Amino acid sequence: MRLDKFLAEVGLGSRKEVKQLIKKGQISVNQQIEKSDKKQVEPEKDQIAFQGETLHYQEFYYYLLHKPAGVVSATEDSRDRTVLDLFTPADYRSDLFPVGRLDKDTEGLLLITNDGKLAHELLSPKKHVEKEYFAKVAGVMTVEDQQRFVEGILLDGEKTLPAELLIDETTADSSEVRIILHEGKFHQVKRMVKACGKEVTYLKRIRMGSLELPSELVKGNYRVVTAEEIASLKG
């Protein structure tokens, strides 16, 4: 990796800015001042420092975000706030992106990373990674609805994979349920519930694979995903 790219990657500045730091002799490689921005370095082996302070390179970043309603699952949008707008300047990176998406009015767990390989693994239709949602429903979900979820529901001419409908609580005209999917069709939870003659009034994703939304994580906030959680996701 070129030295200027390394310095930009660790957040020392833009490529143009770090070139100036190099020219001013503020960067050392293995205790030697380096004046060439084209210098090839090995982040895992070389000791690279700025004004004597060692810089540590991290290739991949993983954040667990509690997405609030009203924010879109995108890296940029001309009209609405995006999930990346919730990041502080210190944590923001231009290569971060959300793994999958949640509807604008849906809240809950969203993984933000720059690890394209892991994102592909989690979203691949062949992997059938579980996604669990909590939903409030106008209407009473029944045992018959549960069976329909298990058998798969026809949406736009295509049957969904078997899903789980767990009924937590019902009143005379509403239900609180958890729904576990093994795929990610467009508005799938809402459409499956609608196919049963009811309507989702509130939706929150609480789990993706082995990654669970912490109860203490406030909407709009995020935290670093632990090494153990990443290892579990990669299976």
CA distance 131 to 133: 7
Q: Which residues pair with 137 in a beta bridge?
A: 175, 200
Active-site hit among 103, 105, 115, 168: 103
- Sign for the CA dihedral angle at 183, 220, 14, 21 comes to negative
CA distance 121 to 127: 7
Smallest CA-to-CA distance from 225 within 122, 71, 103 is with 122
DSSP state of 134: E
CA distance 11 to 61: 13
Mark whether 103 is an active-site residue. Answer: yes
CA distance 181 to 190: 12
Q: Are 135 and 177 in contact (CB under 8 A)?
A: yes
Q: Are 128 and 112 in contact (CB under 8 A)?
A: no
Sequence-separated (6 or more) residues with CB below 8 Å from residue 124: none
CA distance 110 to 98: 7
Q: Are 207 and 130 in contact (CB under 8 A)?
A: yes
Catalytic residues: 103
